[in-house]
Each structure stands twice: as C-alpha cells, then as structure tokens.
Amino acid sequence: MKKLYIVLCSVILLSCSAKPVEDKQQDTAFTDRELGQLLVIGFRGTEINPESDITKDIKELNIGGVVLFDYDVESKSYGRNIESDDQLLKLASSLVAYSSTPPIISIDQEGGQVARLKPSLGFPKTVSAQYLGEIDNEDSTRFYARRTAQEFMVVGVNTNFAPVLDVNTNPKNPVIARYERSYSSNPKKVAEHAGYVIDEFDVEGILTVLKHFPGHGSSTTDSHLGVTDVTDTWTEDELIPYKILFEEKNINAVMTAHIYNANIDPDWPATLSPATINGLLRDSLGFEGVVFSDDMQMDAIRSEYGLETAIEQSLNAGVDILMFGNNLVYEEDIAQTAIDIIQKLIAEGKVSEETIQASLDRVAKLKKDVIEDLCTCLNF
C-alpha cells in the first residue's frame, strides 16, 4: 500500500510541472483544452487505460477533473469507481498520470447515508451531520472529519463536496432531512460544525466545497427529480452559515443548489441565476472563490431547460465549473458536447470572453492554492 502511495506522490509531482499538450487553433479566443478546465466529469470504471473514454477527455480536452461514485444509478449497480482503498489509489494515480494539469478528483463524502467510501468496502465508519449536530461535541466532529480527510490523502482524492451548510428547517425535507445531511435547524450550529470539518480538511490539504447555496434545507421536493420551488419556505437565516464561514475561514469553493426562489430571482433557479450567484453570493456576501454547479444532469436542470440554455445561463450567472456526474444518465461524449456548446456560445456573443477568462482564472488559482498543494503534502 505504501509503495503505491509513494508512486502516486511521484506521478502528481510530475503532473504539476508537466507542459500542456499542443492544441489545435479554435475559432474563438479559447482552445477546447482551455475550456476543458471548466468541467468536472463522471465516468464508469474502477481502472482506466489509454483507450478509456475518460482518459481521452483528460488527454485531449484537459478536463478540470472527475467525480467518483460507488454506485451507478442508471445501471443500478455498485462498483462504479470505488471498490477498495488499494484500487482507488491506483485509479487516482492513473488519473493524475494522464493529466497535464493537476486534476480535481472529487467525491461526496458527507458521512452517514451519503458516503462513497463505505465501511463495507474497508473504509472507516462515518456518521451523519445530523448525528454530530445532535451530540454537539467539537471533538467528535473533528475526529470524524480528520479521519475522513486522512483517508482522502491515503487514496489520492483531493476534493470533498462537503460540508453541507443546509439548515434543517424542514424536518420532512425529502433530500436533506430524510438522509440526515444537515447539522441542525440552528444556522449558527451548522456553521460551527461545518467549520470544524473545514479545519480538519485544510490541515490535510484537501479541498472542501460548501453546499448547497443559497440553502436547500427548506425544500419540500427533490431537485434530482424536477423543479424545486422554495419561494414560500426559504428564509434569509439559511444564509447565516455562509456569512459566518466567509468571515471566519478561507473558503475556496461553493456548490450551487438547483432550487427556484422567486424572491431572489423570478426567472431562474439558483444555478442559472445571475441574481443568486453574481449578485447574492459574490456581490452581497463577498465570495471570491470558485463556484461549482450541482450536477447539470439532474432533472431540475436537464429536463426543464435543455443543455445549451443551462450552460449559457450558468456561466453568465457566475458558475465556474460545470459538473456532469454522468450517473443519473450516462453520456460518453458529454465533455466534448459541453465544450462545443461553450465554443458556440462564445462565438455567438452569448457568453463573453471576459466571463470565461474570469472563470478560468479562478479555477487556475484554486488549483494553485489548493489542488497543487497535494504535490507538497505527498512529497515525503
């Protein structure tokens, strides 16, 4: 195991200094490989080789990173990307080896029912955010967060889509409360425990992504399945955890929610809303980091707006990285399809070059400040 770990360290160090592959000239100011940095893509396979689709996306399109799952929703089967710690380390090593830019290697490891690294596969036991909020013990929250962060280091995963900042305002919420994903109905307690988690991941040099902005805790429906309207249930208290943590911590990344709130934006759900991201998140709350979309293939977006409209709106709204989990549905060519759409939108003047460049700059800074730090952390 340790031998594999050292091999991964060496591969990552080489990746950090690798020169980009030469790319063909495009009609816009950006090459496909530059735009690839705005994508995080899901794929099938517990190992990859030079002929794998995801390898081609990495080598030819220079995608920003990948998201890994233990369960394949469409095929209703386990073993999609994760089988064991040794296997995951080998997979992470391969992903890095094929990359000319240090890749985001991400999973959702919230704890409890939402955990891709399961004890049944030999990973450490986790507990839910709700459990930790109820016992309300700093040492316990830090213990579980530290153990998870250290496991990320061991298996080569550098990004966690957690902690959840949703406030448990609706105990019958079908996607948050039902799975015990919120620390508390008290927004200050949510911020407190999320802060402990961020601290412990920061120590290990692992990126945490706060979610789901501007708050999913009051929803009555599941955005995986369709439009989720929180106009009558959402309150500004759901912003309190973000306000506190933006003031107290160095927050690098936030993930949007696919929720609609007419009080913030009467036209668009949060992921597609300039009023929510560029307005509320960036201008009002002062967030300067990277904004990840939630999965763009969830029905709240995919079925309602179509891919081109969704990409146009999200980029103009302030999203920096578009995530395609490729799990609810599977589209082998989704990376190239998304890049082609972005190129078209730029060429038609529907998304400005300034908007794209600002996102590329934020992503590059994130990788330099956090993702590339894994090079130093693993160089022992």
Q: Quick check: 242 pLDDT over 60?
A: yes
| The pLDDT value given to residue 15 | 47
Q: CA-to-CA distance for 310 and 328, rounded, in angstroms?
A: 17
Between CA 374 and CA 205 the distance in angstroms is 6
Token reading at 71:
């369960």
Cα 336–Cα 159–Cα 189 angle in degrees, nearest 5: 130
The more confident residue out of 188 and 17 is 188
Q: Which CATH class is domain 60-72+105-363?
A: alpha beta
Write down the pLDDT at residue 24: 44
Q: Distance (Å, rounded) from C-alpha 280 to C-alpha 213?
A: 10
The pLDDT value recorded for residue 120 is 96
- 16 has pLDDT over 50: no
Q: Is 173 left (phi over 0), alpha (psi -120 to 50) or beta?
A: beta
pLDDT digits (tens, 9 = 90+) for 261-299: 999 999 999 999 999 999 999 999 999 999 999 999 998
Distance CA 257, CA 270 (A): 6
**Size (the chain), residues:** 380
- pLDDT band at residue 20 using 50, 70 and 90 as cut-offs: very low
Report the distance separating Cα 338 and Cα 40, nearest Å. 11
CB 237: neighbour CB atoms within 10 A? 17
Specify the 3-state DSSP secondary structure of 90: helix
Stretch among 62-66, 96-100, 136-140, 223-227 having the lowest mean pLDDT = 223-227
| Averaged pLDDT of the chain | 92
Res 81 pLDDT > 60: yes
Q: Indicate the domain borders of the chain.
A: 60-72+105-363
For residues 78 and 69, what is the distance between their CA atoms, to the nearest angstrom?
Answer: 9
Q: How far apart are CA 281 and CA 345, in angstroms?
A: 24
Q: Percent of the chain scored above 90 by pLDDT?
A: 87
Burial of 8 (0-12, 13-18, 19+ CB in 10 A): buried
- How far apart CA 215 and CA 17 sit, in angstroms, is 39
- What's the pLDDT tens digit per position in 317-338? 999 999 999 999 999 999 999 9
| Whether the Cβ atoms of residue 207 and residue 162 lie closer than 8 Å to each other | no
Whole-angstrom Cα distance, residue 113 to residue 109?
A: 9
| Segment 96-115 mean pLDDT | 97
Tell me what pLDDT residue 26 has: 53
Q: How confident is the model at residue 374 (pLDDT cuts 50, 70, 90)?
A: low
State the DSSP code for 46.
S
Q: Is residue 4's pLDDT more than 90? A: no
Sign of CA dihedral 116, 47, 297, 75: negative
